[in-house]
Amino acid sequence: MYNKLLLAILPLFLIYFSAISQEYNNEFGIVSDNDAYLFYGQDRYYTNGLFIYYRRAVDQHKLGDNLEKLTYELSVGQKMYTPLSGYGPDPRTHDRPFAGYLYGKAQVNFFNQKEHVWKIALALGTSGPNSLASGTQNLIHTTVGLYKTSGWDYQIQNEAAANLDVQYTALLHRNSAKSVDFSLESYAQLGTVFNGAGLALVFRTGNINQLFHSSYHSATISQNNKTKKLQERELYFYARPQINYVAYDATIQGSLFTNNSPITFSVRPFVFEQRIGLNYATARFTLDYSLTFRAREIKSSARPHQYGSITAYYRFN
């Protein structure tokens, strides 16, 4: 009887452990940002974002000695912004412009063996009515039974969008138990939509992997790994306080070259934000939930704002 039970259970164990050790070199996923994920009825400013990602890892045996991993990434995304309320028929009540941003992005990610990470991306798209943001928000509100929006007639006008984004991260310290680490994260943006830079300190604690294997950097995919992971599964809490320097934001200020938008505002040059989150990742899946708290960023009566993010990734060969 016990032998039969063992024979019945053994294949399940083999499937389970093979799944843990399996490498997957492709990843597909969705990230959804929305202030409704805070669960207290807020609906303002950066009110919704939806992003679809595809990533692929290069054969690591073909990389140089110092480069641990190289991945390519393609994504499409849409961001939408409103004043304090999505119902704003009177433009005199607007404390932020209605605005949309739709883009496609190509990105390459370099992971150094010393846990330095470079991410370089080029995004092309459009802001304004061509971003389809007003239709998307109306569809969402109709689907879930929210109020009817009004005010998109005053949105930021159409403008071709091109943006170059560069991000650099370096590990600062990881404790001997491999359960806590700190890293320094920086970025710079240059283009027709966003211009600026930022610096953040990233804290993680729990079952964490090296930066070149971690779901935090979407680095779980691999092809012929050079270095063994610290953990087969990750489960960790993270916090990221960040200071941003905003040189230009077309979703607030309108076109960088010809400002023909009916309502625009100036930006506050320095904006603090805090992100906290919980991440769980296996060989196949990543699930992440985070909250972002952002200080006042507009020279108007606009308040600080917050939003939540839900991430789901699936890996395959």
Residue ranges of E strands in 113-218: 116-127, 159-174, 180-191, 194-207
pLDDT tens across 129-143, in order? 999 999 999 888 888
Query: Is pLDDT of 12 > 60?
Result: no
Confidence band, pLDDT 50/70/90 cuts, at residue 8 = low
pLDDT tens across 202-241, in order? 999 999 999 999 999 999 999 999 999 999 999 999 999 9
Give the pLDDT of residue 9: 55
φ, ψ of residue 269 to 5 degrees: the values are: -70, -30
Give the pLDDT of residue 6: 46
Q: Angle at Cα 237 formed by Cα 279 and Cα 17, nearest 5°?
A: 50
Higher pLDDT: 50 or 8? It is 50
Q: Mean pLDDT, to the nearest integer, of 32-50?
A: 87
Token duo for residue 266: 């100036």
Token duo for residue 73: 């990434």
Give the pLDDT of residue 38: 87
CATH architecture of 26-316: Beta Barrel (2.40)
CA dihedral defined by 103, 273, 157, 78, rounded to 10 degrees? 30
pLDDT tens across 98-117, in order? 999 999 999 999 999 999 99
- Mean predicted lDDT score pLDDT of the chain: 92
Give the pLDDT of residue 17: 44
Task: Give 176's strand partners.
Answer: none
Separation of alpha carbons 128 and 263, rounded Å:
12
* pTM of the entire predicted model: 0.91
Contact residues for 238 (Cβ-Cβ < 8 A; gap 6+): 202, 203, 204, 205, 216, 275, 276, 277, 278, 279, 290
State CA 299 to chain mean position distance. 26
Q: Mean pLDDT, to the nearest integer, of 8-17?
A: 48
Separation of alpha carbons 255 and 127, rounded Å:
9
Give the pLDDT of residue 21: 55
Give the pLDDT of residue 22: 84
Confidence band, pLDDT 50/70/90 cuts, at residue 14 = very low
Q: Where are the domains of the chain?
A: 26-316
Confidence band, pLDDT 50/70/90 cuts, at residue 190 = very high
Q: Mean pLDDT, to the nearest integer, of 246-261?
A: 92
